[in-house]
Amino acid sequence: MRKVATAAMFAALSATALGMTAGQPAAAAPSVNMEAVVKAAMWDPYKADQSITPGSGESVKAVEQALAAKNLLDKKQVDGHFGTSTVTAYQKYQKSLGHSGLAASGLPGKGSLTELGKGRYTVTAPISVGSKTSLDGKTVNKRTADMIAAAEKKAGVKFTITQGSYNAGGVGASGGTHDGGGAVDISVNNISNKTAAVKALREVGFAAWHRTPSQGNWAEHIHGIAISDTDMSPQAQAQAGDYFKGLNGLASHAKDDGPKVKKVTWEEFKRG
């Protein structure tokens, strides 16, 4: 009896030290919503203020706390806003894992986000861009291909892709936006209602614009960036940031000239 009592006392003392009542399970680790974190990483760095992207604050803060624990981010920056300081800190973390290039752009991917959270948080609502595939002979990932198919259905027209993704250095006028995933250019030759086509692309989660020769050294086309594609190039991320700010995604950063829609990601569109 004495040994049993001692063991019970030890268990109670241990539970008290951990902030628990004896017999109760340990508190579950906090969760980090990857969709919310990536959306904030697309939007927050381009804001003029420190406002928090709706629904992302707690998840971003948990990521920032993990970065601060690794001495990659000043504790004063742990505020739920995924701004430039957090982007830089996350980029350093990615490089510490041996990543480089687009894999160390400061945009969280599932692998690095999960690794960072070990012992601190669990990742929910993961984003997967899928494997590379082909549309009209141009390389895109499965997520982008699925988005194109959904937009075609809404617009009632078959899109012809003239430039895809993962096309580093392929078209100089693109300025690096097609270097990573999620970027497409679409021919307008068979599209009578270009505004409706751009609207359909936006409604399924693209930052999309109708581009004309007067805007740059290119033929008329529709340009699209799949918001929250985790393979995206920094240049494409900047265009997504412009889109969220109501701008045109060009060097002029002029007012958005496209149709007004509720700005959503692919994952949000699928949930309705």
- pLDDT at res. 13: 40
Q: Are residues 140 and 245 in the same domain?
A: yes
Give residue-wise pLDDT tens across range 192-216: 999 999 999 999 999 999 999 999 9
Domain span at 64: 31-124
Picking from 124, 153, 175, the residue at the C-terminal end of a domain is: 124
Q: Is the pLDDT of residue 154 over 70?
A: yes
Give residue-wise pLDDT tens across range 62-75: 999 999 999 999 99
Give residue 230's region: left, alpha or beta (phi > 0; psi -120 to 50). Answer: alpha
Q: Are residues 97 and 140 in the same domain?
A: no
Neighbouring C-beta atoms of residue 237, cutoff 10 Å: 25
Give residue-wise pLDDT tens across range 121-145: 999 999 999 999 999 999 999 999 9
- pLDDT at res. 172: 80
Q: Which two tokens stand for residue 158?
A: 């078959």
- CA triplet 230, 232, 238: central angle to 5 degrees? 120
Q: Are residues 157 and 222 in the same domain?
A: yes
- Nearest residue to 242 via CA among 231, 219, 258: 258
Q: Is the pLDDT of residue 12 over 70?
A: no
Q: Are residues 90 and 182 in the same domain?
A: no
Tokens 């009542």 found at: 21
Picking from 124, 144, 163, the residue at the C-terminal end of a domain is: 124
Count of the separate structural domains present in the chain: 2
Q: Are residues 104 and 178 in the same domain?
A: no
- pLDDT at res. 170: 82
Q: Is the pLDDT of residue 83 over 50?
A: yes
Give residue-wise pLDDT tens across range 84-96: 999 999 999 999 9
Percent pLDDT > 70 in the chain is 90
Cα separation, 112 vs 192, whole angstroms:
44
Picking from 124, 159, 194, the residue at the C-terminal end of a domain is: 124
* Global pTM value: 0.88
